[in-house]
Amino acid sequence: MSNSPSSHQAEAIEFAPGLVIQNIRPPLSMRDFKLIAFDMDSTLINIECVDEIADAAGRKAEVSAITEAAMRGEISDYKESLRRRVALLKGVSVASMEQVLRERLQLNPGAKRLVAACQAAGMKVLLVSGGFTFFTDHVRDLLKIDFTRSNVLEIEDGLLTGRMVDQPWGDICDGDEKRRMLLETCDRLGIAPSQAIAMGDGANDLPMMAVAGLSVAYHAKPRVREKAMIAINAGGLDRVLDVLH
């Protein structure tokens, strides 16, 4: 790639208001990338789904505090933090989750435009989430996403049990699993990780961002902004197109 990030070491600079770049020299060419991977909660969509489900159980403050600490990277064991949060969802109905999906979940600004632009350039799209298939399946269908990986909430008699279901690839989609899925998808497509873009906002996105050719932080936690090649601190997801042509 002509703009290989590793070949340019520079201080972070404000490329445009609310758009910070480091270790890249724009403009980058979309033709150099074949895959874009997105986190879902607070990246592609406007909410943290686990927090909104917890609202139905009257436990939003408790769950949100754990989520926030996990996203800042203050909880070293992400899997355990998610198990703790999901346990607090016990007894929430599927109807309540459907209400969250219907009334609260929205795509973040610029999501449709960015995904459409990447697809038009021939990129495949991957959604990797520490959230749940109940929501990722909806977003997948909405944006015609090619590949997804996320967690399955266990449901019995229309109610959450407070547990998750193990899947063939493992138990929980954490940061390490996001990284594995990105690399696995690159391998499946016959491309190098340097031909992938990874976008996220929380600490559990850092492993996949570290192996991608281009890493993008979207309204992210400080630790994530510091490590990303592009940090979108104002405006929509499609602001990455200011750097990527």
3-state secondary structure 208-241: HHHHCCEEEEECCCHHHHHHCCEEECCCCHHHHH
Instruction: Name the active-site residue from 32, 41, 166, 171.
Output: 41
Q: Tell me, rounded to whole angstroms, the distance of Cα 7 from its chain centroid.
A: 26
Torsions phi, psi of 133, nearest 5? -60, -30
Q: Out of 39, 174, 201, 238, pick the active-site residue.
A: 39
Q: Is 171 a catalytic residue?
A: no
Amino acid identity of residue 98, one-letter, is: E
Backbone region of residue 221 per phi and psi (left: phi > 0; alpha: psi in -120 to 50; beta: other values): beta
Is 41 an annotated catalytic residue? yes
Peptide bond into 26 cis (omega under 30): no
Antiparallel, parallel or unpaired: β 13-16 and 19-21: antiparallel
| Residues ≥6 apart with Cβ < 8 Å to 163 | 86, 87, 154
Active site positions, annotated: 39, 41
